[in-house]
Chains A and B, each alone.
Chain A
Amino acid sequence: MDISQYNDHGQFCSGHAACAGCVEALTMRVILNEIGPDAVGVVAPSCTAVILGGYPTSSARIPFLHGLIETAAAMGTGVKRGLAAQGKDDTTVICFAGDGGTYDIGIQALSSAAERNEDILYVCFDNEGYMNTGGQKSSSTPHGAATGSTPLGKATVKKNLIEILAAHRIPYIATASPSHLADLAAKVKKAKAIRGMKVLIVVIPCLPGWGVADNEAVKVSRMAVESGVFPLFEVEDGLTYRVASEKSAPVDAYLATQKRYRHLEGAQIDTLQAEVDFNYARLKALEAISPA
């Protein structure tokens, strides 16, 4: 997407409270413009809630219910069912949550909403840790990454939430990146047209949390995609995988952009490379066996 040609509908306002250089605001702008005015949002406590702003201001044109951290999917359910009971079934319900609110404390409510195939679009801004509270480990934090609660590097791998969600056989799951905004917009548009549960997981490099330079978040997210660390793909009905990004670069250059990996030594980087290679090959294999 050529951002200078971007047709902004004004659904996300200037004056928001994101950190300077944060690409989550950019991502929210694209998503909210694509969703349009006939929508109600639910937001879990997260960076997103901060960016949306405190009472009595809001950076979004649509109304948001600021829920509790583990309740985004349950509150999305309630908004949708409440609107539907009053004849407003066409209104889109969109949930925003971080990876803490999604992979960790919110997974129970998320699984339940997925099992019921609720007609909501759930967006997880995945910055791979509790960055709004100063940068602690979540179950989305990758293997080896240093956080406030894993100062020597996380000893276990990132939870594969997409496969967990796929096992629920929901209509649509996709990953997205602020480095590929046209792809993001297309996925939001596609999800909006689908009835049932949709989940979008967007990688968000956290400038202070990952130790990324203020002007490098888009570049780092592009490297996450191209190294295969965060591939762009879709899963339809939990079975049909479609992988859109190639694994075209080694992991070490991606790791070198972030302070959270600077303690890693050669053998550890080799381990991470092997994990990324395996995960990407497995993804391609799932794509190969997908039903037509």
Chain B
Amino acid sequence: MNKLRDDDLQLLNGNHAVAWGVRLARPDVAPVYPITPQTPILEKLVAFQSEGQFDCDLITPESEHSAMAVAVAASATGARVFTATSSQGLMLMHELLHYASGSRMPIVMFNVNRTPAAPWGFWPDQTDSLAQRDTGWIQLYSETAQESLDTVVQAFRIAEACELPVMVNHDAFYVSHAVEPVSVPEATMVQDFLPRTKRSLWLDTGLGRSIGAPAGQEAWHASRREMDVAMQRVKGLTREAGRLWGEATGRAYDVLEKYRTGGAELVFVTMGSMAGTAREAVDKLRQAGLAAGLVRVRLFRPLPLIDLRSALVDIPVALVLDRNFSPGMGGILHQELAAGLCGQRGPRLHGFLAGVGGVNVPVERLVALAREYQNAMPTFEPIWLE
């Protein structure tokens, strides 16, 4: 775990930690539409603004669809733009998500992972953002309030370096509303970490260039080739941002977090707050003599395949814990890993639908799961964790 320094600690919930990160990142424009459980981010930003601590144009459009349309257009002028949403709001934005990445707008969005209706629910579940995996957005998943603050600042640096939008996610309530001690960095440190950069394409009355005009097949094709090249830079940029952040704050980040994987006979693989439960289960299993470990995926898009392969190649068993559900297939991280590890030596991969709809997954359940599947053969069907 990362060390906290005592001098700058505040008690913050996950969403207020995000708002602190946004305040430190100094966006010019922030169109935001309220939705549970994202709303405390918006409310905290408004509070900062009313205290004169946050010089940003906060706009309140009538929907998330318009919020993202405002975000894209403001970004197209060269402004730094932030927005935040959750669940239904993110899904309403879907059309614009493709537009934002296709037009290469370095927008940063925070999404609070929440179950999609129907039925209505307000519980942690990553299906909302994972269903946006093909939209061309960089996706990062945070485990704690501290990581959410740190990551939202790093996200602007990554986005502006490769001119692609970044979505940072944390789980509803378990992270968004849980209060933890959070270290808030100095504004001057963040200014050095995140300088203003000149964009390669913006709406300039002096130049008259248009953005997004209808393109022929070859120009359209070229736009996606260029996105691909940009995406290939993201892993390095994410790693660099995490390393530099570590030098400045003592809290370094990588694209994956590996916990006690040395000599492991079995690892859990997961994203978001489930990693906290898995980490405890690893400790208990190690105490009881089973060499368990954890691989937490922090960067999901682009998926750091080479890193995942090398992290897992010598481990006999991997249990993938998905707090999401793709009906007809199973867990989305499980699918991605199965595809990514295909054709090479690697662990026996078991996919579990763990905590779908926010149901609790206790440490003891994961301990028992490790013992149960330690020697089992994998199945194609997803396994529902009861």
Contacts and interface: CB of A to CB of B under 8 A. Distances in A.
Interface stretch (B73-81, B297-305, B376-384): B73-81
B70 A75 contact: yes
Contacts of B69: 67-68, 71, 74-75, 78, 109
B62 A109 contact: yes
A66 B205 contact: no
B160 to A, nearest CB: 15
Nearest to B55: A85
Interface stretch (B35-43, B112-120, B214-222): B214-222
Interface string B184-226: 0000000000000000000111011111111110010000000
A52 interface: yes
A267 to B, nearest CB: 42
Contacts of A58: 208, 210, 213
Interface in A33-92: 37-40, 42, 49-50, 52-56, 58, 60-68, 70-71, 74-79, 81-86, 88, 91
A108 interface: yes
Nearest to A83: B77
A137 B261 CA distance: 63
A55 B28 contact: no
Given A42-B73, A78-B31, A85-B28, A66 B214 contact: yes
Contacts of B31: 77-78
B214 A81 contact: no
A115 B63 CA distance: 13
A52 B210 contact: yes
B329 interface: no
A55 B205 contact: no
Contact of B214 (A49, A75, A85): A49
Contacts of B204: 63
Contacts of A52: 210, 213
Contacts of B75: 78, 82
Interface string B312-335: 000000000000000000000000
B364 interface: no
B76 A108 contact: no
B210 A64 contact: yes
Given A74-B69, A112-B66, A66 B29 contact: no
Contact of B208 (A63, A76, A91): A63
B162 to A, nearest CB: 20
Given A66-B213, A82-B79, A77 B70 contact: yes
Contacts, number: 150
Nearest to A39: B205
B215 A55 contact: yes
Contacts of A70: 65
A66 B211 CA distance: 6
Interface in B29-64: 29, 31, 57, 59-63
A77 B61 contact: yes
Interface in B351-375: none
B197 to A, nearest CB: 14
A66 B57 CA distance: 23
A279 interface: no
A68 B215 contact: no
A150 interface: no
Contacts of B159: none
Contacts of B207: 63
B73 A54 contact: no
B99 interface: yes
Interface in B58-105: 59-63, 65-66, 69-79, 81, 95-96, 99
A222 to B, nearest CB: 33
Interface string B163-193: 0000000000000000000000000000000
Interface residues of B, number: 40
Q: Which of A70, A74, A86, A112 has the most CB of B within 10 A?
A: A74
A223 B211 CA distance: 38
Contact of A74 (B66, B78, B219): B66
Interface residues of A, number: 44
B208 A79 contact: no
A109 B92 CA distance: 14
A65 B212 contact: yes
Nearest to B98: A68
Nearest to B59: A81
B105 to A, nearest CB: 10
A206 to B, nearest CB: 20
Contact of B76 (A38, A82, A109): A82
A257 interface: no
Q: Which of B77, B213, B214 has the most CB of A within 10 A?
A: B77
A39 B74 CA distance: 15
Contacts of B78: 82, 86
A111 interface: yes
B77 A112 contact: no
Nearest to A93: B73
Contacts of B96: 68, 71
A54 B215 contact: yes
Contact of A68 (B74, B81, B99, B216): B99
Contacts of A84: 57
B77 A82 contact: yes
Contact of A63 (B66, B71, B203): B203
Nearest to B211: A65
A78 B28 CA distance: 11
A54 to B, nearest CB: 4
B208 A62 contact: yes
17 contacts: A37-B205, A40-B77, A40-B205, A54-B215, A56-B213, A58-B213, A60-B210, A66-B212, A68-B95, A74-B70, A77-B70, A78-B71, A82-B74, A82-B75, A82-B77, A85-B28, A112-B61
Given A49-B213, A81-B79, 16 more contacts: A40-B203, A40-B205, A50-B214, A58-B210, A60-B210, A63-B204, A66-B213, A68-B69, A76-B73, A82-B73, A86-B79, A109-B63, A109-B65, A112-B61, A112-B62, A112-B66
Interface of B: 28-29, 31, 57, 59-63, 65-66, 69-79, 81, 95-96, 99, 203-205, 207-216, 219
Top 4 nearest A-B pairs (CB, nearest first) are A78-B73, A82-B77, A82-B74, A112-B62
